[in-house]
Amino acid sequence: MNVVLIGAQWGDEGKGKMVDYLAADAQIIVRFSGGANAGHTIVRNGEQFALHLIPSGVLYPDKTVVLGSGMVIDPEALFAELSMLESRGIDWKGRVLISDRAHVVLPRYRDVDKEMEASRKMPIGTTGRGIGVAYAMKASRDGVRLADINDPARLANLEPADMDFLSEWAERLSPLAVDLTNYLDHHRNAYILFEGAQGALLDLDAGTYPFVSSGMSSAAGAAAQGGIGPRAIDKVLGVFKAYSTRVGNGPFPTEFDENSQSALCQFVRDTGREYGVTTGRPRRCGYLDLVALRYACLANSIDSLILTHLDVYDTLDSFEACVAYKVNGTLVEHFPASVSDLDGAQPVLRSFRGWKRSLAGVRRYDELPIEATDYISFIEEFTGTAIDIVSVGYDRQETIVRKSPWIRY
């Protein structure tokens, strides 16, 4: 069974926590896109792990994790992460594989990334990890795949420094290489979880271009870049927070106003620990944008939503969510492509009552306060998508499952 999990906002929705949670019932976890720009946090019995490249199922000793064909892999970052796991008692040898079609991030890509940002009139706010450059090289057919690193004919166009770098890492990378489609075909009866990076609104095609990342963070990426075809996907899960965040630049219609809502913004940022895992940058925060969420559901065939960070609203008397925009005085109910329209969009907000009690210990849906289930029901109705899992804290255990994604229905 193939279950795909993606972020349904601008990243950092809690994908790491949810992949770790759902991986308990999977045998293989395949991360299909992005690179060391991602930061996926897992908290297991109070112990925190931050992963950038390795799929979030790696903490279980019996799971195989695969870095998929759509990933762009910085060998230095990869082996630093593997060493970190090793030093914390996670034995990864023999169960971390890399698609031989995945691309390598060369050190100079990071410099080019930073130079391009510095020369942009409207900087994107990239993570500076060379991600956009690696995908551009891939698209221009000048990239280096894992399958090519021991093939001198394929490397003929590279500069000597690149060749030196690759020969330094080839010996450690090559043993991890796998033909992903063939591998997954051999495990076609396994329970496989496909882990997205970034989020639907950072996807190169469907996101708020040009303020996006350069990979396929949409559900379609699992098919194009996860080694399976589109009809092999059994279910698509979309993770979203009770509110919205974004790191870096770009439109964000529901962003809290830095003057009139600065206390609320700081409260959400601190309570939700909204600081980038990769760059440490404070995340921009705002109310939940339901117009954007509905768009993400439609553009990704999301079967089932996972709501995280509901606990962050525990102490609020009331809060709001965006149900439409006003653009140049006109009511807009869909998510526009134009960045100028999104920049100028005034959110039309609907108010919700807070529940004023801690959700931390809640493990059953029927134990949630009525104000929380009212919010959930409204989101389900607005997006036309069921919310089957609710997360009420960062720890693995702080999770309420209404319907397991591993059951076929």
Residues that bind ligand IMO (CB under 6 A): 7, 11-12, 34, 37-40, 124-127, 129, 131-132, 197-199, 202, 213-214, 247-248
Rank residues 11 and 68 by Cβ distance to ligand GDP and give the closer one: 11
The angle at the Cα of 185, spanning 183 to 189, to the nearest 5 degrees, equals 110
| Per-residue contact string for residues 84-123; x = within reach of ligand GDP by CB under 6 A | ----------------------------------------
Q: Please list, in sequence order, all residues whose beta carbon lies within 8 angstroms of the beta carbon of residue 174, skipping any fewer than 6 positions away.
A: 146, 149, 150
- Candidates 43, 116, 324, 401: give the one binding ligand GDP (CB under 6 A): 43
Q: Find the DSSP H helices in 289-402.
A: 290-300, 339-344, 370-383
What tokens were used for 80?
């630093």
- Candidates 2, 17, 49, 321: give the one binding ligand GDP (CB under 6 A): 17
Query: Nearest-CA neighbor of 314 among 271, 254, 261, 273?
Result: 271
**Which residues, listed in sequence order, are joined to residue 285 by a DSSP beta bridge?**
245
Q: Choose the contact partner of 311 out of Mg ion, ligand IMO, ligand GDP, none; CB within 5 to 8 A by kind.
A: ligand GDP
Stretch that binds ligand GDP, among 34-42, 61-69, 121-129, 182-190 (CB under 6 A): 34-42
Residue with tokens 């510095």: 118
Query: Nearest-CA neighbor of 52 among 171, 220, 195, 181?
Result: 195
Q: Choose the contact partner of 226 out of Mg ion, ligand IMO, ligand GDP, none; CB within 5 to 8 A by kind.
A: none
Is position 289 annotated as part of the catalytic site? no
C-alpha distance from residue 291 to each of 68, 118, 254, 301, 402 (Å): 31, 33, 10, 16, 24
| Minimum CB distance to ligand IMO, residue 59 (Å) | 17
37-76: contacts with Mg ion (CB under 5 A): 39
Does 12 help bind Mg ion (rule: CB under 5 A)?
yes
Please identify which of the residues 12, 203, 303, 388 carries the catalytic annotation: 12
How many residues make contact with ligand GDP (CB under 6 A)? Answer: 23
What tokens were used for 168?
């330094």
262-321: contacts with Mg ion (CB under 5 A): 277
What tokens were used for 334?
């869909």
Q: Which residues are marked as active site?
A: 12, 40
Binding site for Mg ion (CB under 5 A): 12, 39, 277
